[in-house]
Structure 1
Amino acid sequence: MRASVVLALASLLCAAHRSARAAYIDSNLAVSPETQQNGGGCYPQSLRGPITEMLNLINPEWAAIDVDSHLPPESEPVTLHGTVALAKINEGGDFPADHVSDDQNTLIDVDSADMALVATGNVGPHGEEAGTLEWELEIVKYPFFAWAGVGDRLTTVGRWIWDCGHPDPDPLGSCSISAQDCIVDSDCLPGETCVGTVFNYHSEIHPPQAVMVSRTGGGHAFAKRRRGGRRATRTDVWISPDGGGAGDRCVVTHHDNAFDQTTIDCFPLSEPLANVNASNVAFDIPLPPRPPGSLRPRVKVIDQTPAGLRRPRVTTTFVDGAPPVVHAVIDMTTPIAGMLPSRVGKTIFARWLNDTTPMARVRVTVTAIEILNPLKPVHPTAAARQRCSSTSTQDCSATPCPAGETCRTFGGPIAGWEIFLEANGHWQPLAALAGVTTPATIPQGLVFDAAVPVTGGTPHLHATGHSLDCRETMYGMSLNRDIQVFGGDVANCLEAESHDVGELDVTLPASGFPARRHPVSYVTQSIGGDGGQCSSTSSQLCLTNADCPSGETCTVTGGSYKLHYTIARRS
């Protein structure tokens, strides 16, 4: 066969392969009999069943999409590539009985070659908030240096799952004879089946076991402390077998009787499913635009591994393709001093040697946060109670806890906010917010250094956060222990989500940079979110109607805080 024919055939085969890969996976497969074999898949709540069927939604809350030759909940990790569309926390909080903390959520525009990992539910009427697929990892398991920002390139290896907690049937099905609405067969009369239900389960990477975030378009000093520098790509890497509840065998194992979820206790978590030593971690690092005459990039690797843990070797190779990239491999399979690496952090810088692109170095200094509405209900969801940290039934307000235990307060008024702020992908938490209960101005001292191209560069500030409520006190405890602690208040506390403090998203074009040595101060109020003023007693802040005098309603205005900051141009 002539070379031209071979090349044409190869091109057609590649195109066909890409087309096949681009097809979405059907969300209804999450509840198919084949998927549910051996306890796999999801188990939706019926339309007419008892309220206890809500336990189906966490039995399990996350199910492997493709177990291949394994038995559930085991599965092989997948690799996904994309561009970050949005990074945030879950403002309302997560279901605490299978989490150690709230999740950090990264929403990704998945590359076309990986679109087969995206489910029909991700892009349907109940689709993602942004992007085409969500990536989630508990905040306490994810160091800030590796959090992604909008526009960053992301490669991740992790557990490909159905989000079983959100079946979102739409449209509903109809019973085969009576034609009444249904979700599953049990909604119909004996002898009937439910036909036509369309489930909108999302596919996710949840949790990841490795994430590589490449920050392109800016300038970076080749140093561990973030500083602006010459135009370069900074790639931050985090590898860990500890994915929190979503990555623990005990948490994600299906039980034949969903009511078992009220009796099992998986905490402290001890059965991680991820094996980070099964293979090395390999990925490509994109480079900035190539200046004329540049032959090779300069590459530098800085270790970010937690103290005392093994630091594996990183090998980098320049691949002069279209486009040129730096191929990196982190050796996770070779023992170091007799032990394999586990939790690993790396930062890899790459830039062209003779890149003279003019860069503007800017410094953002956050000086204060002004809490306008603390978003705290007048009437707490659950009465305060004090219980020992392990002996859940012991009231330690009356009797001291056993040796080694502490006395914890659950329920009652819940103080505190959490706000996480990024400047061009550099994330930091705001300080001293744990005691927030009333309007106040709280000094801050966060500093962000960045460099952006003088032409077309844009510093970007983005915050995500919430005002804490009862649910936040329940993390890291099983549902069984929640019931012991809260008794009849358990449902009220589980339903008491944290409250949205509003969105803060600021982009400053290069033309708006302050002059050198002339910093400019700004005050920006969040937009949207919860809370407002009572309809007649406008001086009274509120979260819901229950916070207002009788006969009044809470007029929601949002904008619960203002951020005070300065921007200075340093070069």
Structure 2
Amino acid sequence: MQMLRSRTLAFALGLVAGAIPTGAKATFIDSNLAASATAHLNGGGCYPTPLVPGLLDMLTLIDPEWAAVDVDSHLPPLSDPVTIHGTVALAKVNEAGDFPGDHVTDDENTFITVDAADMGLVGTGNVHPMEGVEAGTLEVEWEIGKYPLFAWPGTGDRLTGVGRWIWDCGHPNPNPAGSCSTTISQPCAIDSDCASPTCETCVGGETCVGVTWNYHSEMHPPQALAVTRTGGYSYSKLNRRAGRLSTRTDVWISPDGGGAGDQCFLTHRPNPVALLRLECFPLSQPLANVNASDFAFDITLPPKPAGQTRPPRVQVFDQTPAGLPKPAVTTTWIPGVVDTIHAVVNMTTPVDGTLPSMVGKTIIARWINDPTPITPLRVRVTGIEILNPLKAVTPALPARQRCSVTTSQDCSVTPCPVGETCLTLGGPTPGWQVWFEVNGHWQQLPGLSRVQTPGTIPQNLIYTVGIPAGGTLHLHASGKSLACLEAQLYGQSIARDLTLYGLTDGATCLTDASKDIGRFDISLSGPDFGSGGSSMAYVTPSVGGDGGTCSITTTQLCVTDADCPGGPSDTCVVTGGSYKLHYTISKP
């Protein structure tokens, strides 16, 4: 969910909460179906808002935030999972953060270019021209805390996913808007736009006609993903040093989809005001059933070497969390114009009497004695230099301390009752989060939780890869500077936020979204892939993003004009580029 909706919802909460007691076809699917009368049967579908939102309309957008595209014979929110295939166009975190009232953590967002055979899973809203760089893709979202890094994808990887096919109800995007049935000069989104007070000249009984909704279809959340990369891989789940030309497929299966996979959040309430009292945490109603069927997918092998008659070599490594059942994986070679491996993770058979639940696998497949040249490379991240920490001079909220249950009690003055903890609400929000990938191998930069001033934090992240001839070394980072929303609100309900923060402070924290630290995305080609033939050191700044310096007080870093001390004419000149990454590329 984009944080524009959180800001508007915060405004609505601040105004109203005081009254509240404590099988795919080959063409795109019509996004207008998301808000159709058929979709609304039994509480399904999305519920759009007027062009001029009222007090409760932003609550309507999350009632529910995600609706099944096709419930088939089920009652909403239940639906059968779908399978999707495609190529990764972009993988990243949500820089501004997600709506915290129905998330345990932020989402990892993967945008895929869907295969032609699965294009019927893509909504017409996904391909609308106003969607910019994301136009034409389908997004796969899974909460970061539920999705281990080894299985995160990178640009160009192949992805097979099984999961919940939904409309993103939080983004109706009426474009073009409709018109009122009689007063045709009056634009509208829903019927209430054609009545007073929005339209004083409209006559009674007018309806809104001709609106085009651009809801996005997504897989959100998945319950099983297989991500295939091509490069030089050794036969180890942990050591990624260059070996023979191979495909490496990382698999993650889990019923835990976070808030977007929990029935409590996905059930429509006839009155959205009920969301202000709803308590779904801790989550306890996951919808996904990973044991209903086995997880099957195909792995495309590298081109077969001339004269090769032997079958490919396939090795499976287990990545399942300790103590959980480790199901078997069967692999079958399918010869053809393009040779493939058909893999099946057995999720329907108990292991020592217990069905599998969370499962991780790594599958490496290659041709024996493949002579294709591979260039081994090592990328080492040695430091991150924070140029602008992107922290407001004055925090969004002043710091105050309150007891965890007796929330009216100031525990900086009086100790909390026995069994309660003293919480710090508001105040400065130190910390960055940065994830860095090399050809789909992701790691999170450690030691950034206290970032609030410029400085360099040493790092020692090592990536070993093998690049085939004609391949590319891809370096990519995704991250953010934390603000009140992500630092303090995730994993707790709107009701809890109102109890802790009250109306005004709760709305202020909700609108204080994390800041964009800028883009870092570099591709290097052969023959040396940036190594200079041996080893090269780099210091590369991020590009774009938030922050800059004040126009008059030019030594003052800023995020907004409010950070500049020189009066109304002293404004924040946004330059972006808030950090530099220090790294080396070498040939071992």
**Shorter-normalised TM range:** over 0.9
The TM-score with structure 1 as length reference comes to 0.94
Q: Which amino acid aligns with 2:161?
A: T
CA distance in 1, matches of 2:472, 2:313: 25
- 1:14 is aligned to none
SS in 2 for 1:47: coil
- 2:152 is aligned to 147
Does residue 1:67 correspond to 2:80, yes or no?
no
Structure 1 residue 485, shift from structure 2 partner: 1.3
- 1:170 is aligned to 175
- 1:556 is aligned to 574
Does residue 1:363 correspond to 2:367, yes or no?
no
Compared with structure 1, are the counterparts of its residues 391 and 143 closer, same or farther at alpha carbon in structure 2 (3 Å cutoff)?
A: farther
Residue 423 of structure 1 contacts residue 460 of structure 1 at CA under 8 Å; is this kept in 2? yes
Structure 1 residue 360, shift from structure 2 partner: 0.9
Structure 1 residue 292, shift from structure 2 partner: 0.9
- 2:247 is aligned to 233
SS in 2 for 1:97: helix
Q: 2:91 aligns with which of 84, 87, 90?
A: 87
Which stretch has the larger CA shift, 39-48 or 76-85?
39-48
Compared with structure 1, are the counterparts of its residues 357 and 390 closer, same or farther at alpha carbon in structure 2 (3 Å cutoff)?
A: farther
Q: 2:233 aligns with which of 186, 205, 220?
A: 220
- 1:333 is aligned to 348
Structure 1 residue 337, shift from structure 2 partner: 1.7
> For each residue in 1:47-105, what CA deviation from the matched residue of structure 2 results, as whole angstroms up to 9, or x when unmatched?
24522211001101000000000000000000000000000000000000000011000
Q: 1:256 aligns with which of 262, 265, 270?
A: 270
CA distance in 1, matches of 2:531, 2:209: 66
SS in 1 for 2:59: helix
SS in 1 for 2:140: strand
Does residue 1:193 correspond to 2:198, yes or no?
no
Residue 277 of structure 1 contacts residue 333 of structure 1 at CA under 8 Å; is this kept in 2? yes
- 2:510 is aligned to 494
- 1:270 is aligned to 284
Structure 1 residue 486, shift from structure 2 partner: 1.3
The 5 A counterparts of 1:40-189 are: 40-127=44-131, 129-130=133-134, 132-179=137-184, 180-189=186-195
Q: 2:322 aligns with which of 307, 329, 332?
A: 307
The TM-score with structure 2 as length reference comes to 0.91
Which stretch has the larger CA shift, 74-83 or 478-487?
478-487
Which stretch has the larger CA shift, 286-295 or 32-41?
286-295
Residue 282 of structure 1 contacts residue 330 of structure 1 at CA under 8 Å; is this kept in 2? yes
Cα RMSD between the aligned structures?
1.6
CA distance in 2, matches of 1:391, 1:110: 51
Residue 126 of structure 1 contacts residue 200 of structure 1 at CA under 8 Å; is this kept in 2? no
Q: Which amino acid aligns with 2:508?
A: N
Residue 49 of structure 1 contacts residue 187 of structure 1 at CA under 8 Å; is this kept in 2? no
Structure 1 residue 411, shift from structure 2 partner: 1.6
Compared with structure 1, are the counterparts of its residues 83 and 177 closer, same or farther at alpha carbon in structure 2 (3 Å cutoff)?
A: same
Compared with structure 1, are the counterparts of its residues 442 and 132 closer, same or farther at alpha carbon in structure 2 (3 Å cutoff)?
A: same
Structure 1 residue 197, shift from structure 2 partner: 1.1
Residue 403 of structure 2 contacts residue 422 of structure 2 at CA under 8 Å; is this kept in 1? yes
CA distance in 1, matches of 2:418, 2:364: 50
Structure 1 residue 315, shift from structure 2 partner: 0.5
Which stretch has the larger CA shift, 174-183 or 265-274?
174-183
The share of aligned pairs that are identical, in percent, is 62
Structure 1 residue 511, shift from structure 2 partner: 2.6
The gaps in structure 1 that reach 5 residues or longer are 1-17
CA distance in 2, matches of 1:187, 1:466: 38
The 5 A counterparts of 1:421-436 are: 421-436=436-451
> For each residue in 1:268-308, what CA deviation from the matched residue of structure 2 results, as whole angstroms up to 9, or x when unmatched?
11100000000010110111111112231100000000001
Structure 1 residue 403, shift from structure 2 partner: 5.0
> For each residue in 1:367-415, what CA deviation from the matched residue of structure 2 results, as whole angstroms up to 9, or x when unmatched?
0000000001112222223344566555433344455554332221111
Instruction: Number of aligned residue pairs: give it.
Output: 550
Structure 1 residue 44, shift from structure 2 partner: 1.2
Does residue 1:534 correspond to 2:553, yes or no?
no
The gaps in structure 2 that reach 5 residues or longer are 1-22, 196-203
SS in 1 for 2:353: coil
SS in 1 for 2:232: coil
